[in-house]
Structure 1
Amino acid sequence: MKKQFIYILLGFLFIGNLSAQQTPAPKQKEAFSIEGATAHLGNGTVIENSLIMFSNGKLDFVGSANSRIARKGTIINGKGKHVYPGFIAANTSLGLAEIDAVRATRDFDEVGGYLPHIRSIIAYNAESKVVETMRPNGVLMAQITPRGGTISGTSSIVQFDAWNWEDAAMVFDDAIHINWPSSFSRGRWWLGEDAGLKPNKTYPEAVDKIVNYIKDAKNYLAGDRTPKNLPFEAMEKLLNGKQKLFVHASGEKPITDVINIFKKLNINNLVLVHAEGADKVADLIKDNNVSVIVNRAHRLPNSEDEDYDLPYRTAKILTDKGIVVGLGMEGDMERMSTRNLPFYAGTYAAYGLGKEEALKLITSNTAKILGIDNQVGTLEVGKDATLFISEGDALDMRTNIISQAFIQGRKISLETHQTKLWKRYSNKYQN
C-alpha cells in the first residue's frame, strides 16, 4: 500500500511537471542589437531602419541604424520586420482562474461586498496555461484585477515570465477597484415585470452606502484605529493619494456622479473603467483630468438610438477630446480573449483612430494610466527592454507573427500548449 501511494504521488508530480509553464528565462547576460527593423516606439513615433540596443534589462540606444555607434552583443537582423514595446492588458483577471467550469480554479471573486483588503496578486498563478498564451501575440504585461462585490479589492501589475507571483509583480497593489451601481435596472421578467430598462430606485441608497463607507474609513484612519479594521486599513494608501482608484461605471449620470463625488472626497487619482456613455460627458472627464479604460470594440451599442458603430469609434471620440484612453479586457471569455488585445486595438485603428494612436491604447497610454510609464510602454533609453519583433503589423492578426520577444532584456519562450499541438498535428499528413 505504501509503495502504491508513492507511485501515485510520483505520477501526479510527473503530470504536473508536464503541464507547467516553461522555465522562466535567466537574467540577461549578453547585450542585443536589433538592426534594420521598423520601430514603433509606442508614443506615436515610428523609426524606419532603426537600431535598438539593450543590456542588463534596459534599453541603451533607440535611434536610426545609420548612426555611427558600435553595435553591442548579438546582432539581430530586423530588416523587413517591426519592433514594438510589449503590450499591456489593463483590467483583466488573467491568472486568477484557469477553467471556468472548475470552481476550485476560480480565485477572482471573493465573498462579500466591501473588500478593499483583498489582494489579487497573492492568488495570481504565474504558471497558468492561459497566461502563457499571451506572449506569442506580444501581450507581455497586465494589470491583474479582482471581480465582484462593490469594492472588489486591489489589482497589481505583472510581467508574464516568472516563477511565482512575487517574481511576476512589477507593482504591488496599484489600485483599488469599485463597481459603481447602475442608474437603470431591468425588470425581472420571471416575476412578470416589464423586462425593459427603468430608473433604478435603489441607486441613491447604493451610492450613499459607498460614500459613507469611505467617510467611515477616513474617520477610522484619523482616529486611534481601535479595534483594528483591516478593510479600512487597506484604504489608507488610496486616501493619502498614493494609490489609484479604478471605478467601473457606465452611463452619463453614474460617470458624472463618480467624478463629482470623489472630487468632494478629495480622491483625485481616479480612472474610469468601461465608461460607456463617456462620449456624452467627455468635457467633464477631460476637465477633471480623469483617464478612461474602454471596453473591447467588438460589442453591440447599448441602446436603440446609438449609432451601430459607436463602440468602434469610442476610443477616437475620447482621444480627440484629449482624454488619455487605455484598453481593458473585462467581459465574456476575458482571460482567454486577452491574447487578442492587439487585434481589438486594431479595430479601433480601423475606425478612425489610426495605427500609432491605437497602439498607444495598449502601450504608452495604459502604462501612464497604471503609473508604470517610467518603466515600460515606450521604446526609450533607460526603460525596461520589454519588447518583441513581429514579421508584420502587430495589430493585424494576419501579420502578427512574433519571432522573438524579451521581458526586461530576457529572451523568453514563445511556446505554448497551442503551438505544441499545432506543430504536432501539422506533421500528421506530411507522410
Structure 2
Amino acid sequence: MKKYIYIYVLCVTVLFGTFGYAQQTPAPKQSEAISIVGATAHIGNGKVIDNATIVFENGKIIRIGSAASTRTSGKRIDAKGKHVYPGFISPNSTLGLVEIDAVRATRDQDETGAFNPHIRSLIAYNAESKVVESCRPNGILIAQITPRGGRVSGTSSIVQLDAWNWEDAAVKVDDAIHINWPNNFTIGRWWLGEERGLRPNKNYPEQVQQIQDVFNESKSYLNGSRSPKNLPYEAMNGLMNGTQKLFVHVDTEKGILDAINFGKKNNVKIVIVGGYQAHKVASTLRQNNVPVLLHRTHYVPEMDDEDYDLSYKKAKILTDAGVLVGLENSGQMERMNTRNLPFLAGTAAAHGLDKEKALQLITSNTAKILGIDAQLGTLEVGKDATLFISEGDALDMRGNILTHAFINGRELSLETHQTELWKRYMKKYEGK
C-alpha cells in the first residue's frame, strides 16, 4: 500500500511541477477598443509624438496623434509620463529551437548534411519555451526563427512571441533561406595536423563554386520536369521566383563582396548577416541596395589594429553611408541574451547614432529587411497593434520597465518564471 501511495504522490508532484513551470497562457483576442493616452509615442520611423493618443481595435491601430486632437475609444490607459514603442523584432534568432544547451533532447536548431534548404525552422519552434517568455518583458515581441549549420542551413520563418503553437505563432512563413558563406581565411586546425595561424583558405574558390553549382542544379531542376521530386531543389523555388530572400551569413570584406556579386549573378535578393567587416564596403552595399543585419554591438574587436569601440559605432558608420541596417544577436548564449536586444541599440545610440535612428535598428529597419513592414515595425494606422508601454527609455536598461504589452491588440502577461523568483526573494529581504 505504501508503494502505491508513494507512486501517487510522485505523479501528483511531477504533474503540478510541470504545470507550475509552464509558459504563460496566451492572451485572448482583443475584445474592445483600447486607447493609450498621454504617452510619448516613438513611431519607429524617426518620428516622435509627445502627449500622444493611440487607439487600436480588432488588433489594428485605428487612430494615432496628439492627445488634444485624437478621439479616444473603449478602455482608456493613462500613460502620462511613459513611452510607447512598436514591438521590438529579433532577426536571425534560434529562440524556441533550443531550451537548454546542455540537454541534447532540447536542441533542434540544425540538421545533418551541408545542403538543407528544405529544412523548415517553423515546425520545430516551441511556442512554450521559457526563454521565449523571458524576452517579452523587455519589449521583444517578434522574432525570425532561423536554423543553423551546414552550408545551406534551411528556411526561416517569422513569429510573434505569444502563441499556443507554431501555427498560431506564424507571422510570415518561410521568409528566407540561409547560407553560411565560406571563409576566405582559415585557422590552422591542430586536430588535422595543420600548422596553427591565420592564412588564406586555399579551398575558398572551390567552396564558392559548390554554392554556384547548387544554384545551377536547382534552376535546371525547377525549369525541367521536376521528376523525380527533389525536396532540396523544390525548396529553392522561392529564391528563383523572387518571393524569398537569401540571407548570407558572412563577415569578411572579400566574402561580403563575393556574396553581393553572387546575388547579382543569380538575380537573388540578398541580406548580409553578421557583416563584421561590412563598414569597409559600405558604399558597395548601398549601391547594390543590400541591407545588413549587424552582429551584436556588445562585441570585442577581432583585430589588434581595430578601434576598441568599433562594434559600438559600426551601426552609425553604415547608417551614415546610406545602408539599411538592423541588429541581430547570434553567438554565445544568443537565446538568453535576446532580451538584451534593445540595449544593443542603446549602445549604438550612446556612440553617436541618433536615438530614434537607433530605435529603427530593431523596429522599422528590421521589418523592412524581413519584408513585414506593411504590418509591423512602426506605430501607424492600419498596422498591427503590436506595441508596448515602458516607464522610461526602452533602449536603456534603467528605463526599460514595461507596464503593458500587446500583440495584435491582445494584452500580454509580463510575468515569467524570472519575475516570479524576483518577487519571491524581494519579499524575503523587504524587512531587512
Q: Considering the TM-score relative to the shorter chain, is it more than 0.5?
A: yes
Distance 2:299 2:5 in 1: 56
Letter of the 1:354 counterpart = D
Residue 196 of structure 1 is matched in structure 2 by 197
In the TM superposition, 1:325-364 aligns within 5 A as 325-364=325-364
2:420 counterpart SS class: helix
Partner of 2:35: 33
Distance 1:191 1:371, change over 3 A: closer
Residue in 1 that maps onto 2:127? 126
Aligned equivalents of 1:165 and 1:390: distance in 2?
28
- The one of 46, 58, 65 equivalent to 1:63 is 65
Q: Aligned ranges for residues 336-415 of structure 1 at < 5 Å?
A: 336-415=336-415
Q: Taking structure 1 as reference, are residues 227 and 9 closer, same or farther at Cα in structure 2, changes over 3 Å only?
A: farther
Partner of 2:117: 116
Distance 1:302 1:389, change over 3 A: same
Please, which moves more after superposition, 12-21 or 199-208? Answer: 12-21
Matched residue type, 2:281: V
Shift in Å at residue 188 of structure 1?
2.5
Deviations 1:265-321 (A, max 9, x none): 111x21000111111111111111111000111111121222221111110111111
Alpha-carbon offset, residue 76 of structure 1: 0.9
| TM-score normalised over the length of structure 2 | 0.96
* Change beyond 3 A, Cα 1:429–1:279: closer
Which whole-Å CA distance do the structure 1 matches of 2:204 and 2:247 have between them?
A: 19
More deviation, 10-19/161-170: 10-19
Whichever residue aligns with residue 266 of structure 2, its letter is L
| TM-score, length of structure 1 as denominator length | 0.97
Q: 1:86 corresponds to which residue?
A: 87
Letter in 1 for 2:124: A
Q: CA RMSD in A?
A: 1.6
The whole-number CA distance in structure 2 between the counterparts of 1:221 and 1:414 is 47
Post-superposition CA distance 1:111-134 (Å, at most 9, x none) = 111000000000000000000000
With 181-190 and 232-241 compared, the bigger mean Cα shift is at: 181-190
Q: Determine the structure 2 residue equivalent to 1:165.
A: 166
Note if 1:144 corresponds to 2:145: yes
Q: Distance in 2 between matches of 1:353 and 1:149?
A: 35
Instruction: Please say which of residues 11-20 and 28-37 is displaced more in the overlay.
Output: 11-20
Q: Deviations over 1:383-429 (max 9, x none)?
A: 00000000000000011111011110000000000000011111113
Alignment match, 1:77: 78
Stretches of structure 1 lacking an aligned partner (at least 5 in a row): none
CA distance in 2, matches of 1:157, 1:247: 17
Letter in 2 for 1:181: P
What one-letter code is carried by the residue in structure 2 that aligns with 1:188? Answer: R
Whole-angstrom distance in 2 between the partners of 1:261 and 1:137:
38
Cα distance in 2, alignment partners of residues 347 and 195 from structure 1 = 35
Q: Which residue of 2 aligns with 1:24?
A: 26
Classify 1:101/1:72 alpha carbon distance in 2 versus 1 (closer, same or farther; 3 Å).
same
Return the alpha-carbon distance in structure 2 between the equivalents of residues 164 and 11 of structure 1. Answer: 26
Flag structure 2 segments of 5+ consecutive residues without an equivalent: none
Give the SS at the match of 1:248.
strand
1:129-182 Cα deviation digits (max 9, x unpaired): 000000100001100000000000000000011000000010111000000010
SS, match of residue 89 in structure 2: strand
Identity percentage of aligned residues: 65
Q: In 2, distance between residues paired with 1:191 and 1:271?
A: 34
- Counterparts of residues 40-55 of structure 1 (less than 5 Å): 40-55=42-57
1:154 alignment partner in structure 2: 155
Matches within 5 A, 1:240-255: 240-255=241-256
Structure 2: how far apart are the matches of 1:297 and 1:358? Answer: 12
CA distance in 2, matches of 1:192, 1:109: 28
1:209-253 C-alpha deviation (Å, 9 max, x unpaired):
011011101101111111111000011111110111100011111
Partner Cα distance (1:120, 1:52) in 2: 35
2:260 corresponds to which residue? 259
Q: Distance in 1 between the 2:246 and 2:11 partners?
A: 45
Tell me the distance in 1 between the aligned counterparts of 2:182 and 2:342: 30
- Partner Cα distance (1:224, 1:2) in 2: 64
Corresponding residue of 2:311: 311
* Alpha-carbon offset, residue 30 of structure 1: 1.0
SS in 2 for 1:48: strand
Structure 1 residue 196, shift from structure 2 partner:
2.3
Write the distance in 2 (CA, Å) between the matches of 1:295 and 1:189.
Answer: 28
* 1:195 to partner: Cα distance: 2.8
